[in-house]
Amino acid sequence: MTERQSLEAWGSLPAVSAEVRAIAREVVGYRRHAHRFPEVSWEERETQRWLMATLERFGITEVTPLAGTGLKAVVRGARPGRTVLWRADIDALPIHEEVEAPYTSTRPGVMHACGHDSHIAVALGLAQLLQAERETLAGNVVFAFQPAEEVGGGARPMIAEGVLDNPPVVEVFGFHADSSVPCGAIAASPGQFFAAPGTFELIIRGRGGHAGLPHRSVDPVVCAAYVLTALQTVVSRNVPPDRAGVLSIGHIEGGTRGNIIPDAVRIEGTLRAFEPETMHLIRSRFEQVLKGVTEAFCAEYQLSYREGLPAVVNDPTSTALVRETAAALLGEGNVLPDRTTMSDDMALFLQARPGCYFLLGVRNEAWGIVEPNHSPRWDLDERALVLGVELGRRILHAALARPVASRDAPISARAHP
């Protein structure tokens, strides 16, 4: 992205309020600051200090560090009412940025390649606006700036340390920037919305030897190649087309020199599915394929799984609120039902309280903003930040306007998925 993404291009935005337009440049500035100074999971100390200073500049006095490098900020309305939470993750990825822009990462090998800089910026914009209108606000809004989403570890200590308590949160919201959804659109669906992930480590063991005498060895490299090829059929030929599943390989390691057949090859990857039965099917077929191929090559294998997060499950009532609010702003045709096989520890917030997590579109093909999340060339259409603040503000106002009801029971009174 270049300076083509300026305020001059924002005339095509939907009906954005004067209050949001007034802080638009600041919101873009928040995103660009976060993008220039990224920090990986559990190391977000400078980000935390900057967030604290910014929130205090807004006049927010209840700002509490949580989970080491996270923050909880509370905007208390002058009138009583419900308490809702807006969550934004703040960590970056160990990726070297290839985008050339005024806001390019200043830290080699670290980049906001998954849009968390936009999550930060929108949350700050919302906090700024709501704090300014707190005298007319009925209820409270908690902002959770969560560390370490990328390693799946930040939500749990935030919840354990009381981000949902004092004041007691009854509903949670948030979004993830997504470059498969065009700027000016969102995606949200009730039920399972992000997939449940799992990771695996596979070691294929053969018998090493001289590469010039392969008949005297059991070659784990050749076996691994056939295993990886066969695994591509696990989802495509076993998972029904109306369901989604993923089996991806992200790391292969084996051997030291070109003339040595190694003893073993190590492979790491991920499994993802929305429904538990689909995950069970993938794992079952994975092991059947693995057993058959390794036996055919006289090799052995060792397979270990690491269970990941639960699926992100959106509450139907909360999701209806988000979809209806987005339709009023963006138009019915720009509210999509798409789900994603990404994973996110927002799932833990949504296990503890009802709520909705949605995808905010940031794609702009005309400007070449098409790279997927986790790409070193990731970027976003910054007009999405303004839409995110406008939509988020409307969502929070609508959620606060609901009457307090039995569905606002605390976690101890709610059944866990």
Mean pLDDT of 167-172: 98
Amino acid 12: pLDDT: 62
pLDDT digits (tens, 9 = 90+) for 11-65: 566 689 999 999 999 999 999 999 999 999 999 999 999 999 999 999 999 999 9
Amino acid 80: pLDDT: 96
Amino acid 414: pLDDT: 43
Dist. CA 77–CA 400, nearest whole Å: 10
CA distances from 279 to 87, 243, 310 (A): 28, 11, 12
Amino acid 3: pLDDT: 47
- Taking 50 as the threshold, does the pLDDT of residue 374 lie above it? yes
Domains recognised in the chain with CATH numbers: 7-193+311-413 (3.40.630.10), 196-307 (3.30.70.360)
Whether residue 198 contacts residue 271, with contact meaning beta carbons closer than 8 Å, is answered with yes
pLDDT digits (tens, 9 = 90+) for 67-99: 999 999 999 999 999 999 999 999 999 999 999
Q: How confident is the model at residue 415 (pLDDT cuts 50, 70, 90)?
A: very low
- Taking 90 as the threshold, does the pLDDT of residue 153 lie above it? no
CA distances from 54 to 125, 127, 159, 382, 390 (A): 11, 10, 23, 20, 20
Count other C-beta atoms under 10 Å from residue 361's C-beta.
Answer: 25
- Taking 50 as the threshold, does the pLDDT of residue 159 lie above it? yes
Amino acid 411: pLDDT: 43
pLDDT digits (tens, 9 = 90+) for 202-257: 999 999 999 999 999 999 999 999 999 999 999 999 999 888 899 999 999 999 99
Q: How confident is the model at residue 1 (pLDDT cuts 50, 70, 90)?
A: very low
Mean pLDDT of 390-417: 73
